[in-house]
């Protein structure tokens, strides 16, 4: 009989994130090749894990068409050189795709059905702009189930400003600037590079190069510069390119394991899954989604927000993160929140981003044995939120030394 098991995040890697569009570094690179590259890099780094022991491969994409279609988990596994005996599937929950890949595979491990699994996501927003091939049912508008503006994420972000006037544009600008500066400082300290898989890329002239860093960073960002940016989603609005995640291409992958597999292969997990939750909210104000999903995850874990020592929150928009922090009484500049910056600087390749959050939290845990619990959370298009609480296996119970 299968027995319940702890679920461990053993390791995670990702490609550098590129700007979407013809001028982006991945314009001539296939989406499935990005996730294949990530899988190869992760399996090479974890050579003690037999490839034929992987029980399943879950890969998410928001736009499941073209080079992001055809049951990505299975096709990517084959292309990455995993044995034909390893199955795979595709997952779609818009921005929380990779997060759902992890929770789905994690749940399968937790109930004892799987020992090892790969979970991640990919999004090539240059090849597949969000919603480009979608055909929303006319009932949504005809029956007024959803406001048409709910399909425009920037419009939903403006509505958070409307609902919470004390969450001002200046606060959002300051948060956006801080993300850029923190990300640059982390790059200069070598924090990101160890978990990036270099990708060979070809430019418009056919010349080959190597993608080794996230392409969209703007470390020169200032408050004065942000104040002067246009507000594309509403005249005289408050959401700008400087407080939004850029359109991005990239892929992420993680290796998950149960307790028996950790023991059998002598693995050193980076995190233990404590709880997870997803929640629905009104699509017109989808950015508040992580608030109820976090409350649900905390309740399931028997924890409070005060138990969380590190936060990796997806910066779809600055206002979206600030709304969650405000709800839980956390300062905009709390050092526990996104210590190395976030999606405003690094990019948000939709379905890939959840595992990017986990990779960063795992890296923080290794440096912070004084922190026991961490949270990865994100808002999701069409009115959802996703949250996963993790435990630091290196926690030593000692307070941080100053």
The residues carrying an active-site annotation are: 95, 348, 379
Give the integer Cα–Cα distance in Å for 232 and 364.
Answer: 35
* Contact predicate 391/272, CB 8 Å: yes
Q: How many CB atoms lie within 10 A of CB 52?
A: 10
Read out DSSP for 138-206?
A: THHHHTTSS-GGGG-HHHHHHHHHHH-TTS-HHHHHHHHHHHHHHHHHHHHTTTTGGGB--EEEE-TTS
Spell out the alpha helix ranges (H) of 189-251. 223-227
List for the chain the helix, strand, coil content (%; round to 5).
40, 20, 40
Angstrom distance (rounded) from CA 78 to CA 75: 5
Q: State the Cα angle at 15 between 245 and 95, rounded to 5°.
A: 40
d(CA 338, CA 360): 9
| Chain centroid offset of residue 26 CA | 19
Length of the chain: 402
Instruction: Please tell me the distance from the alpha carbon of residue 187 to that of residue 190, in angstroms, as a whole number.
Output: 5
**Beta-carbon contacts of residue 268 (< 8 Å; ≥ 6 apart):** 10
């Amino acid at each position: 009989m299968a027995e319940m098991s702890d679920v461990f995040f053993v390791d995670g890697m990702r490609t550098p994130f590129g700007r979407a569009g013809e001028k982006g570094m991945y314009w001539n690179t296939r989406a499935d090749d990005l996730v294949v590259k990530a899988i190869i890099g992760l399996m090479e780094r974890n050579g003690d894990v037999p490839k034929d022991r992987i029980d399943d491969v879950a890969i998410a994409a928001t736009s499941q068409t073209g080079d992001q279609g055809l049951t990505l988990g299975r096709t990517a596994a084959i292309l990455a050189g995993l044995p034909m005996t390893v199955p795979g599937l595709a997952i779609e929950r818009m921005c929380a795709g990779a997060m759902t890949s992890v929770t789905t595979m994690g749940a399968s491990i937790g109930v004892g059905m799987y020992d090892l699994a790969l979970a991640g996501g990919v999004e090539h927003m240059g090849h597949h702009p969000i919603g480009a091939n979608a055909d929303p049912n006319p009932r949504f508008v005809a029956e007024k189930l959803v406001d048409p503006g709910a399909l425009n994420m920037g419009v939903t972000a403006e509505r958070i400003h409307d609902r919470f006037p004390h969450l001002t544009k200046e606060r959002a600008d300051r948060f956006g600037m801080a993300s850029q500066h923190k990300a640059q400082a982390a790059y200069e300290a070598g924090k990101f590079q160890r978990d990036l898989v270099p990708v060979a890329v070809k430019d418009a002239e056919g010349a080959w190069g190597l993608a080794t860093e996230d392409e969209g960073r703007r470390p020169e960002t200032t408050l004065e510069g942000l104040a002067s940016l246009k507000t594309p989603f509403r005249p005289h609005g408050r959401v700008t390119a400087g407080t939004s995640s850029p359109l991005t291409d990239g892929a992420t992958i993680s290796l998950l394991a149960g307790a028996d597999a950790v023991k059998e292969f002598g693995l050193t997990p980076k995190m233990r899954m404590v709880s997870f939750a997803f929640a629905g909210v009104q699509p017109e104000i989808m950015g508040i989604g992580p608030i109820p999903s976090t409350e649900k995850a905390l309740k399931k874990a028997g924890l409070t927000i005060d138990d969380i020592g590190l936060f990796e929150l997806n910066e779809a928009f600055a206002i979206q993160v600030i709304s969650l922090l405000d709800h839980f009484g956390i300062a905009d500049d709390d050092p526990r929140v996104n210590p190395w910056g976030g999606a405003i600087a690094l990019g948000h390749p939709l379905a890939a981003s959840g595992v990017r959050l986990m990779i960063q939290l795992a890296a923080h845990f290794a440096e912070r044995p004084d922190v026991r619990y961490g949270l990865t959370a994100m808002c999701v298009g069409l009115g959802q939120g996703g949250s996963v609480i993790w435990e630091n296996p290196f926690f030593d119970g000692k307070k941080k030394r100053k």
